[in-house]
Amino acid sequence: MKLTLQQVLAIVQKDLMVEMRARDLLVLMLTFAVLSLVIFYLALDLWGPVVQRVGPGLLWMTITFAAMLGMGRTFVREYERGTLAGLLLAPIDRGALFISKLLANLIFLFIMEAVTLPMFALLFDLPVLNPAVMLATLLGTLGLAILGTMFSAMAAHSRAREALLPLLLLPTTVPIIIGAVQATSNAISGVADGPPWIGLLIAFDVIFLTLSYLLFEHAIEG
């Protein structure tokens, strides 16, 4: 158990160090997210109650596509540089390898959201920096990261790896995105009743996390 924890921390630390020096993944995600929000702001001319209805959808569209860009590189980068085999040679439980990559992805996504959310609040004048929106963002991001990490591993072995990830990820993230948009919308408008979107997000996160943890070995070993 101690070794597994040490292995997980080593991989997360390594991923952060590599990203700090390469600066390709975070820059890509941040640039995309910022540009998307600016384009939505300039092109859609949203105001009043319309912003409250459409805003959460725009926010999650931005987060989802930016996340897809970044997470697509998680295993592709390891595969293309030949370091994936080095990881697979190590006596590390494949589930622990999945958790390592998931944690690294979550850190990158939270950094991206730390810029995106305040900018969204500023441009669209919506109170997204409150605990209820943060909870919806946390759970939605976790779901995206789980599926993104899993499918990034599956796509890495494919020749059409760049195109395959969106094809795999978009249909499966539908419940996560719907849940996150609705939970964010409720949190912004202060609606307390209605369907339990947070509960739905938690349920899907648990299901996807369990399945991915168990199936990751088959995904990563091709």
Partner 1 sequence: MADPGTDDVDTAVEVQGITKRYGAQAALDQVDLCLGCNERLAVLGPNGAGKTTLIAVLATLVRPSAGTLRVMGFDSADAPNEVRRRIGVVAHQTYLYEELSARENLLFYGRLYGMPDLEARVEMLLKLVDIYPRRHEQIANLSRGMQQRVALARALVHDPDVLLLDEPDTGLDQAHLDLLASLVQGRAIPARTVILTTHNLDRALELCGRVAVLAQGRLVYQAASAALDRAALRDAYHRLAGAAP
CB 64 within 8 A of CB 177: yes
- Residues in the site for partner 1, rule: CB under 8 A? 3, 6-7, 10-11, 14, 17-18, 21-22, 81-83, 85-93, 221
Where b means 16+ CB within 10 Å and e means fewer, 135-158 reads: bbbbbbbbbbbbbbbbbbbbbbbe
CA–CA gap between residue 108 and residue 116 (Å, rounded): 12
Closest separation in Å from C-beta 80 to partner 1: 10
Closest separation in Å from C-beta 195 to partner 1: 44
Closest separation in Å from C-beta 108 to partner 1: 15
Closest separation in Å from C-beta 87 to partner 1: 8
Where b means 16+ CB within 10 Å and e means fewer, 68-78 reads: bbbbbbbbbbb
Residue 88 token pair? 């697979």
- The closest alpha carbon to 72, from 172, 153, 171, belongs to 153
Q: Among residues 95 and 166, whose Cβ is nearest to partner 1? A: 95
Q: Among residues 49 and 91, whose Cβ is nearest to partner 1? A: 91
Q: Among residues 1 and 192, whose Cβ is nearest to partner 1? A: 1
Q: Among residues 34 and 161, whose Cβ is nearest to partner 1? A: 161
A 10 A CB-CB count for 217 gives 14
Q: Among residues 125 and 221, whose Cβ is nearest to partner 1? A: 221
Closest separation in Å from C-beta 22 to partner 1: 5
154 φ, ψ to 5°? Answer: -65, -40
Residue 150 token pair? 């899993």
Q: Among residues 17 and 44, whose Cβ is nearest to partner 1? A: 17
- The closest alpha carbon to 102, from 60, 61, 153, belongs to 153
CA–CA gap between residue 182 and residue 43 (Å, rounded): 23
Closest separation in Å from C-beta 174 to partner 1: 33
